[in-house]
Amino acid sequence: MIVMKFGGTSVESAEAISRVASIVKARVDRRPVVVVSAMGKTTNRLLALANAAVEGRRDEALRQLAELEAYTLKEGGSLGGQVEEHFRELTDVVKGLAALGEFSPRSVDVVSAFGERLSSLIVAGHFRQHGIDAVHRDARDFIVTDDRHTQAAPLYAETYARLAALRPVAERQVIVLGGFIGATTKGMTSTLGRGGSDFSASIAGAGVGAEEIQIWTDVDGMLTCDPRILAGGHRVKVISFDEAAELAYFGAKVLHPSTVVPAVEKNIPVFILNSRRPEVEGTRIIREAVGCSNIFKSIACKPGITAVHIKSLRMLMAHGFLSRIFEVFAQHETSVDMVTTSEVSVSVTIDNTANLDAIRADLAEFAEVAVDSGQAIICMVGANIATTPGIAGRVFRSLNGINIRMVSQGASLLNLSFVVNGKDLHAAVKALHEEFFANPDPLVFEPSA
């Protein structure tokens, strides 16, 4: 049994869903459980029209809703009646939001969940039209979460028990589930956070005891550099869970950072594959790192970073200085990516500046604060970092002429990260890629054409 997850671009139209049906049909003998994201940009459109309703633009919200319904019906095949029923329910929700004028986290989950509810229903219908014995199941009946709406965490014991009950059905039929969504123990709709469809697939794989989890997207797999920053990267054939998690955390968009957690626990390999080029073998993610002649497996990037520099008002670090700093960020629910320290100062990076003014004000009570916006993190990832001397010197020599603001090596010994000005990001990645991937190991990488 396998789990196959298809992202939004893979199910954005009837044509795209037909490609997905062909991919699944070719693997029916492996008894696939299919997990799908919302179609195209549906989630963004849902949130936009809901916000319009809350802001008092009720007619505009209903107009956008009608446009979304028309698009969904056009691509929905023969399921018009069921799609219209969902939109009647959604219309009532939107009208209720307009009357209340409030968009709570619980309401955000209810609205955004419609994307996956609709796509999974539509995809199952298309599968049947293509001769696949498929059945739709509502993921909210199987993914049980806590009540932290918009960022819910699965309750694994209950979730796995429910998913295990699906296995006998999956032995006979192709099950289609919506990703990203679940329900609390009280039955309220919840979501796992943006990008959570990958997470859903991993949870489903662990729950049904799959032999592998396939993440089908619009790229050939993980690459040695972010194609949005630098073209010409090599495909990574195989990588460890730990290395993939580091890359995902530091900006590799082909994998949600939480995806590997259930897979690691159950030791289920994960494959990153391209739904537009199913013949490409993609990237295989496994528990143990494989031997590689290259120091690094990939270069991850995170642009749009803000560096916050915090200097003690005393000349030496006072006891509790670090804890006070992180208490401030915790109070304002702002995550920190990188941390560097010196005798009297601490620098951190954040990618969410919504509460930056309040954070600065709180920090200023006991420290001097300076902020650098428009920065970027570059993260070099590879299991060989821990055993290869002189890596940092080689990295920095290759960046001759590019100013490096912060440097950090992760406690995992799998990454070497540093901050540069966002304007230097392309040049830095280009220099690093030329230095460290000029001769890619053919056992680990597929060189670009």
- Return d(Cα 219, Cα 227) in angstroms, integer: 10
Helices assigned H by DSSP within 130-155: none
Residue type, 71: Y
- Return d(Cα 318, Cα 367) in angstroms, integer: 11
Residue type, 119: S
* Residue 408 and residue 343 in contact, taking contact as beta carbons nearer than 8 Å: no
| pLDDT on residue 218 | 85
What is the DSSP-derived secondary structure letter of residue 292?
-
pLDDT digits (tens, 9 = 90+) for 74-103: 988 767 689 999 999 999 999 999 999 999
List for the chain the helix, strand, coil content (%; round to 5). 40, 25, 35
pTM of the model: 0.87
Domains of the chain: 2-218 (3.40.1160.10), 298-446 (3.30.2130.10)
Is a pLDDT exceeding 60 seen at residue 315? Answer: no
Is a pLDDT exceeding 80 seen at residue 258? Answer: no
Element (H, E) at 369: strand 367-381
Residue type, 57: R
Is a pLDDT exceeding 90 seen at residue 251? Answer: no
In this structure, what token pair is assigned to residue 391?
A: 């890596």
| pLDDT on residue 449 | 67
C-alpha torsion 176→263→380→345, nearest 10: 110
In this structure, what token pair is assigned to residue 442?
A: 């053919």
- Return d(Cα 153, Cα 222) in angstroms, integer: 26
pLDDT digits (tens, 9 = 90+) for 127-136: 999 999 999 9
pLDDT digits (tens, 9 = 90+) for 137-189: 999 999 999 999 999 999 999 999 999 999 999 999 999 999 999 999 999 99
- Is residue 68 classed as helix, strand or coil in its secondary structure? helix
Long-range contacts of 277-284 (CB under 8 A, 24+ apart): 277/220, 278/23, 278/26, 280/220, 280/221, 280/235, 281/221, 281/237, 282/220, 282/221, 282/235, 283/221, 283/222, 283/235, 283/236, 283/237, 283/238, 283/239, 284/237, 284/238, 284/239
* Residue 413 and residue 334 in contact, taking contact as beta carbons nearer than 8 Å: no
